[in-house]
């Protein structure tokens, strides 16, 4: 059996590189999808946090003023 020629070795390497490239493209697409989903989740959580802060601020505004401290005389 003859040793693989240089052309065959290059062809094998190119095939492996093409497979790896396709695999990396799929991985990149999945990661981009995850980033998008996490970005949407983050934005939703930030919106909910803002609404909760507004509710807390509104409740704090409704509290009666505190009496002056007794030792301030």
Residue-range definition of the domain harbouring residue 51: 24-60
The Cα angle at residue 38 between residues 35 and 39, in degrees rounded to 5: 85
Counting the structural domains of the chain, the total is 1
Instruction: Decide if 10 is inside a domain.
Output: no
- Residue 72: per-residue pLDDT: 59
Residue 2 counted as domain residue: no
pLDDT at residue number 2: 62
| Residue 19 located in a structural domain | no
Q: What is the pLDDT of residues 2-42, one digit of tens each?
A: 678 999 999 999 999 999 999 999 999 999 999 999 999 99
Q: What is the pLDDT of residue 69?
A: 84
Q: What is the pLDDT of residue 71?
A: 77
| Inside any domain, residue 50 | yes
For residue 9, being part of any structural domain is answered with: no
Name, in order, each residue with C-beta under 8 angstroms of 12's C-beta and a sequence gap of 6 or more: 4
In a domain, 41, yes or no: yes
Q: Is residue 6 part of a domain?
A: no
**Residues 53-65 pLDDT 10s:** 999 999 999 999 8
CA torsion, ordered 54, 60, 62, 63, to nearest 10 deg? 170
């Amino acid at each position: 059996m003859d040793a693989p020629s240089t052309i065959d070795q290059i062809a094998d390497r190119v095939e492996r590189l093409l497979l790896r490239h396709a695999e990396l493209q799929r991985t990149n697409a999945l990661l981009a999808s995850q980033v998008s989903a996490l970005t949407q989740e983050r934005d939703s959580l930030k919106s909910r946090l803002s609404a909760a802060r507004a509710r807390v601020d509104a409740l704090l505004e409704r509290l009666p003023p505190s009496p002056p401290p007794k030792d301030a005389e």
